[in-house]
Amino acid sequence: MSLYRDKAVVLRNYDLGEADRIIVMMTENHGKVRAVAKGVRKTFSKFGARLEPLSHIDVLLSTSRKDLDIVSQVDLVSSARGLYTDLDRLTRGLAMLEAVDQLGMDREPTVHLYKMLVGALSWLSENDSQLVLAAFYFKLLVVEGVGAHVDSCVGCSAGGSELVAFDLFRGGGQCQSCRTGTTLSAEAFALIRNIVGGQLNIALASPESAATREVSDLATRCMEHHLERKLRSVSVFEHPER
């Protein structure tokens, strides 16, 4: 066995045996890592609370011949306590974790995923916006190489002011003549341009409206289309009545 240290965000965990727990984390330098935290479910465990989802940690791990490493030491970089006291922010944070968990590859360094997640959770712990999750998804899709094209029609290159719909399969806006996708308002297109075009603060400061709800719904659909699966945490958040 050999030891290595890294910073990480805990994505999820699940029980193993009577006292252990498997921790899935997105690390800064080692990609997505799965590790066993031995005895963490016992009442005298020194670091059980530090390994809850959303926690930003400095972790010492020991490698194993198996697929799972072993957690040897954990220190908190920042706690997620503030998110756990607000249901809306908690659910948005968990939805971010789910997307990163799906995009991240085991033991493949993806520094951009780690940094984007840390930045988004840090902002969310101090602020809130209906568009923060949508912005996170659209930004992730950009770095994945499938960012939303909203400056012109993906069919005929008509100007952005002529866009009236968004096609998931073609990944962008459409004019009236080319439309095959879902209707989207001019206000929603303007918000998406702010998100992907470097005016994120303007988008996040926008009050809740029909346009912000359009953008939130579209961002989720775009992410699910890219992942080829439904996001469970988002569906619970956006459709609590179900």
Determine, yes or no, domain membership for 96: no
Query: CB neighbours of 207 closer than 8 A, spacing ≥ 6?
Result: none
Same domain, 71 and 136: no
Is pTM beyond 0.85? Reply is yes
Closest CA to 106 of 16, 30, 6: 30
Range of the domain at 46: 3-82
Determine, yes or no, domain membership for 113: no
The CATH number for 74's domain is 2.40.50.140
Determine, yes or no, domain membership for 105: no
Query: CB neighbours of 164 closer than 8 A, spacing ≥ 6?
Result: 173, 174, 175, 176, 179, 183, 184
Q: pLDDT (tens digit, 0 to 9) for every residue of the chain, 242 residues total? A: 699 999 999 999 999 988 899 999 999 999 999 999 998 888 666 777 889 999 999 999 999 767 899 999 999 998 888 898 899 999 999 999 999 999 999 999 999 999 999 999 999 998 989 999 999 999 999 999 999 999 999 999 999 999 999 999 999 999 999 999 999 999 999 999 999 999 999 999 999 999 999 999 999 999 999 999 999 887 655 554 43
Determine, yes or no, domain membership for 171: yes
Determine, yes or no, domain membership for 115: no
The whole-angstrom separation of Cα 118 and Cα 77 is 11
Determine, yes or no, domain membership for 58: yes
Same domain, 146 and 232: yes
CB-CB contact of 58 with 75 (8 Å): yes
Number of domains making up the chain: 2
